[in-house]
Structure 1
């Protein structure tokens, strides 16, 4: 049966109201809520522990969190689908093998990234709404579900439209009376077929269709291009669409979503360790050594720190030459960035950016290693003569040492967003998940945990001075006596590492493990870079 042109225009008007009026109203109400809580952005809001905890249980069943377990809720239906969760959060490489909201942190998401479904879900579950607001938002979301989410014909009859448009207008104007003129403008618009098809794709609940074919989804990680196309066709056939252009657009959207699902699941499979390591076992094999003499010089030049980026490149601090060396592990494709000062320690901020501390300086310098550009210089408050002793990245922020405290800094604004007190001047920082490890002038390895907001201690055979987290969440620690200690992920046990070639050099070396590359790199001042591959 051929659809009536006016039926299609009525669908276009209702869809326009949902996308152009209702969705922005929901976003504005959400923004008002988190600003009233003193939060500056949507990312800060969804990264707050109460919100992560609520949304985590709206996506995951039968889970008892290690944080705030008294407020864990096991929902029957899960209103937050996998695509929405992946839009909001990324998994952190946390120690241990529990499944809890503490393993996740918010992505750099904005209000414009939220559709009506996700915006309403966050509003109704995480915000302070009046009973009337809650009812209006719930009803408006239900209108979208009833008339648009499963409407594959892209048409609304006159009988449906008369009641629906009146209710839409009344409910929205109760939330925001300023939208009256927008309703008049949209109600009088003519049909735009191309825009209407675009709105159909936006409004159809494609992800719900994907989750209905659960078996195929569970096995999609091993899918081929043919499998993707077959799955898309299977879903499309259940939609009963009689519009060739619309069918083509929906097929393209389905295949895009399925492709992303494969990428996400494959990434999670690569990052997920098979089992915890036995302490002290031989995990790494020395793959090759690279002599640095030609790069650092033979007249007192040395390496103060090194980091391996996710693409496998090394970023090396050369204090005596006032520069950063950027190269492959075999020292090929060598680049360098001049530094105004002596670079002491380096940490990776993201795939293309590093943050560097300098000897005798209060500044943190940030560099784009792809374009070899200095991005900014952050001045840190306090008595920071030893600032160069330690820097790390934690929860998308920088952590540095100060007088008897750790400073957590937003590298985008330069603002100190948190101060964590310690009993002494800490140094040699290393961030992993929600934990910051640090050292003092004794045999203790210390760490602060965001999970329980406490400091912890483990006494080692010799003073520690460098540490890095390996794939299962356990820790490798270099000590002054030349040993490398393998510390369990719970920080309660340790054992000396016996791997050939893996040792420290009396408080004069660096080590760094990259979980994407599954490689460990060590460097001993002026001698060699050692690259270890995971066995």
Structure 2
């Protein structure tokens, strides 16, 4: 009897959380986007950089500040609703010396709408946009319900008494903002309890990011405090990954921690679901024989930008996963492989006369450096590990300092390494057989796993396991590298290359023949 009631209470929490995350959050983002595009602004970053918006948000974070521009409209709020990690997510201090300690020192980061959770998007809507009284009340109500029933609810339960009035108000507010959401609400209200998804949503909805921001102490102290306050959350904490928090301050600390709180995936399980696709038909052309060959590699950077190599067109194609913008960077040679060095720089393997590794600043579209590496294999890939480049040379891997171009380490192999991928303390590589090999720094040894067909590309998942694209199918390789299973997700089984980014928590795959990039979100 009590078990049944407990499960019903948890399901009601799951339903309300699903509405907030699956309906309300995208609804707020869409409303914000419509508002700034109606003013002729093309991106969220441009909107955040406008004088009125920057001024308002600055004073929602800073007290006792007088701005050099528009000083008459400066406000001194008794409470600061924009917390530190949210401000850092939106804005960066400009380099150089400023006479005025005000908003003129800051510039907006290249944030995307999908980076805004319900708290941040509603804060911007309520303070920086002109809303009707009814819209204002609906947005404030939805935000308040999220705080009252979800963000501070450490039990993950909602009683029948609470739910009756809550559901009525919740649906009324949503349908006022967008009447087309009626079917979505009906579908969510009827769904059964999904324990795994509910745990994930609970972690997402709790104000853990605020706790991390307020404490500012070591991760061990944070963990102890969380365990003391959230005694009923042991099951939920198992779902924290390296990038499990929703704010930047939490990510940087959790990324360097051990695997204690990282959920281990079941080998071969559906980890990702297809979110949307990017059609590249207008960008990719056939060769003279009618084959699609003009795309060789893809990667996803920490800010969500995709970088693709188009060798026949001598250019890098750069676009965001939300298709908000597409840029090109034209090169002298033919790019065939790419890897990220930092937030703005990439290393590219390029062919003209000979093979080179070239470093490009894709923000300013300039070449920073060209590195000549004798013996660089024609089809060998490149990757990074511990802020160094890894390249494939005959019978060996070479670790390159990209700043000086010097070889800092040589790792002998028993083959000519082909594709290569660095993760943690391991460098994975493959040859022209069916073997996936890796060198481990921990034991200074090479290890081998034989796959069903030749590996063509690989990427590491949050738990340390891997997706490997093979000639005939894609496989999920265990964290210890000793076993594998065929990937179940249909859209992942047939692709040419793939890449995962832990900060974006997105997986991208490239289907060359269909000229399509698939964007996957973690389930």
Task: Compute the TM-score of the two structures, normalised by the length of structure 1.
Answer: 0.49
Counterparts in 2 of 1:267 and 1:417: CA distance versus 1, 3 Å: closer
Q: Deviations over 1:52-110 (max 9, x none)?
A: xxxxxxxxxxxxxxxxxxxxxxxxxxxxxxxxxxxxxxxxxxxxxxxxxxxxxxxxxxx
Pairwise mapping of residues 19-58 of structure 1 onto structure 2 (< 5 A)?
Answer: none
Q: Deviations over 1:206-255 (max 9, x none)?
A: xxxxxxxxxxxxx9963498x679xxxxxxxxxxxxxxxxxxxxxxxxxx
Q: Secondary structure at the match of 2:312?
A: helix
Q: Secondary structure at the match of 1:276?
A: coil
Counterparts in 2 of 1:266 and 1:308: CA distance versus 1, 3 Å: closer
- Counterpart of 2:372? 379
Take 2:443 and 2:330, find their aligned partners in 1: how far apart are those partners? 41
Indicate conservation of the 8 Å contact 1:344/1:389, yes or no. Answer: no
Pairwise mapping of residues 116-195 of structure 1 onto structure 2 (< 5 A)?
Answer: none
Pairwise mapping of residues 321-336 of structure 1 onto structure 2 (< 5 A)?
Answer: 321-336=313-328
Counterparts in 2 of 1:359 and 1:223: CA distance versus 1, 3 Å: same
Q: Which runs of 5+ in 1 are unaligned?
A: 1-218, 230-261
- Counterpart of 2:174? none
Q: Deviations over 1:377-420 (max 9, x none)?
A: 01112x2241x521000111001011100011000000001111
Indicate conservation of the 8 Å contact 1:510/1:523, yes or no. Answer: yes
Q: Secondary structure at the match of 2:332?
A: coil
Which one of the candidate residues 256, 278, 283 is aligned to 1:290?
A: 278
Counterparts in 2 of 1:444 and 1:270: CA distance versus 1, 3 Å: closer
Q: Deviations over 1:264-318 (max 9, x none)?
A: 4454348876411000000000111111110113444521000000011101100
- Counterpart of 2:429? 438
Take 1:418 and 1:353, find their aligned partners in 2: how far apart are those partners? 22
Counterparts in 2 of 1:268 and 1:421: CA distance versus 1, 3 Å: same
- Counterpart of 2:363? 370
Task: Compute the TM-score of the two structures, normalised by the length of structure 2.
Answer: 0.50
Pairwise mapping of residues 68-79 of structure 1 onto structure 2 (< 5 A)?
Answer: none
CA displacement at 1:335 relative to structure 2: 1.2
Which one of the candidate residues 252, 262, 281 is aligned to 2:269?
A: 281
Q: Which runs of 5+ in 2 are unaligned?
A: 1-206, 217-246
Which one of the candidate residues 409, 415, 418 is aligned to 2:406?
A: 415
- Counterpart of 1:344? 336
Indicate conservation of the 8 Å contact 2:377/2:392, yes or no. Answer: no
Q: Say if 2:445 is the partner of 1:454.
A: yes
Counterparts in 2 of 1:412 and 1:475: CA distance versus 1, 3 Å: same
Take 2:393 and 2:419, find their aligned partners in 1: how far apart are those partners? 12
Q: Secondary structure at the match of 2:363?
A: coil
Take 2:516 and 2:451, find their aligned partners in 1: how far apart are those partners? 26
Take 1:466 and 1:224, find their aligned partners in 2: how far apart are those partners? 37
Which one of the candidate residues 467, 487, 494 is aligned to 2:477?
A: 487
CA displacement at 1:368 relative to structure 2: 0.7
Indicate conservation of the 8 Å contact 2:377/2:394, yes or no. Answer: no
CA displacement at 1:369 relative to structure 2: 1.1
User: Which segment is superposed worse, 268-277 or 295-304?
Assistant: 268-277
Take 1:474 and 1:228, find their aligned partners in 2: how far apart are those partners? 32
- Counterpart of 2:465? 474
Take 1:493 and 1:457, find their aligned partners in 2: how far apart are those partners? 11
- Counterpart of 1:523? 510
**How big is the alpha-carbon RMSD for the aligned residues of Structure 1 and Structure 2?**
2.3
Counterparts in 2 of 1:334 and 1:434: CA distance versus 1, 3 Å: same
Say which one has the larger Rg: 1
Counterparts in 2 of 1:379 and 1:279: CA distance versus 1, 3 Å: same
Q: Deviations over 1:2-56 (max 9, x none)?
A: xxxxxxxxxxxxxxxxxxxxxxxxxxxxxxxxxxxxxxxxxxxxxxxxxxxxxxx
- Counterpart of 2:193? none
- Structure number with the bigger relative contact order (C-alpha 8 A, sep ≥ 6) is 1
Q: Say if 2:290 is the partner of 1:302.
A: no
Q: Secondary structure at the match of 2:283?
A: helix
Q: Secondary structure at the match of 1:268?
A: helix
Take 1:330 and 1:285, find their aligned partners in 2: how far apart are those partners? 16
Q: Secondary structure at the match of 1:222?
A: helix
Indicate conservation of the 8 Å contact 2:333/2:350, yes or no. Answer: yes
Task: Give aligned pairs, total.
Answer: 278
